[in-house]
């Protein structure tokens, strides 16, 4: 059962209503989707239903395409089209294992692409290396400037981090969203008790002085 409510956050612009879902089992990707949409649009059952139709052998090919520069764009597009309903492959024993794990949550990221696409939202992948380069080499105070953050087409970031690592056999990854609401950025992490309002870049610069 998902726990959700609307929080009234006091800001310099006045009170802002922020929809927020708290963690249930390993359903962080479900909560992330709903927190981005700012409404209880999807249930874990919706994700389980789509998960059961994923072909993991196809997903492995998709990973190969992402890392293979020699594959033409058309082939990449065909393999990356997560809207196509695939039949679950039982040829590989890991399909059973993965299906069992995902049944309790921790769903595949391709499902988020699929459901966001239903609301005409496009997800763009950003490699961690770009972030680390900004932090470690460029010594930047902020990762993104105001022009980037104020882009009307940009409404959210999806963050994915490893929270549990069992040797190199199993990595439990946690998803959460950074969402722009009424021109202000909030951390909507279902593992927390409530939304967190981020300071603006100007406020960060003033704190650094």
Tell me which residues are annotated as active site: 28, 174, 189
Dump the DSSP string for 86-150. Answer: PPPP-SSHHHHHHHHHHHTB---HHHHHHHHHHTT-------HHHHHHHHHTS--S-SS-HHHHT
CA distance 131 to 46: 32
- Structure letter (DSSP) for residue 199: P
Structure tokens at 14: 């006045």
- Structure letter (DSSP) for residue 65: H
Tally the C-alpha atoms within 13 A of residue 80's C-alpha that lie toward its C-beta. 17
Beta bridge partners of 186: 179, 197
């Amino acid at each position: 059962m998902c726990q959700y409510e609307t929080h009234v956050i006091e800001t310099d612009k006045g009170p802002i209503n922020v929809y927020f879902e708290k963690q249930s089992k390993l359903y962080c990707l479900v909560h992330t989707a709903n927190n981005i949409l700012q409404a209880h649009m999807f249930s874990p059952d919706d994700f389980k239903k789509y998960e059961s139709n994923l072909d993991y052998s196809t997903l492995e090919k998709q990973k190969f395409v992402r890392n293979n520069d020699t594959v033409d764009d058309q082939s990449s597009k065909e393999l990356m089209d997560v809207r196509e309903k695939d039949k679950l492959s039982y040829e590989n024993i890991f399909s059973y294992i993965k299906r069992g794990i995902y049944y309790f949550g921790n769903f595949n990221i391709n499902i988020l692409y699929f459901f966001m696409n239903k609301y005409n939202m496009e997800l763009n992948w950003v490699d961690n290396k770009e972030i680390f380069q900004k932090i470690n080499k460029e010594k930047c105070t902020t990762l993104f400037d105001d022009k980037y953050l104020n882009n009307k087409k940009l409404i959210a970031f999806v963050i994915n981090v490893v929270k549990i690592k069992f040797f190199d056999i199993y990595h439990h990854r946690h998803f959460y969203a950074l969402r722009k609401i009424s021109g202000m950025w909030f951390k909507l992490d279902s593992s927390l008790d409530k939304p967190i309002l981020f300071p603006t870049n100007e406020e960060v610069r003033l704190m650094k002085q």
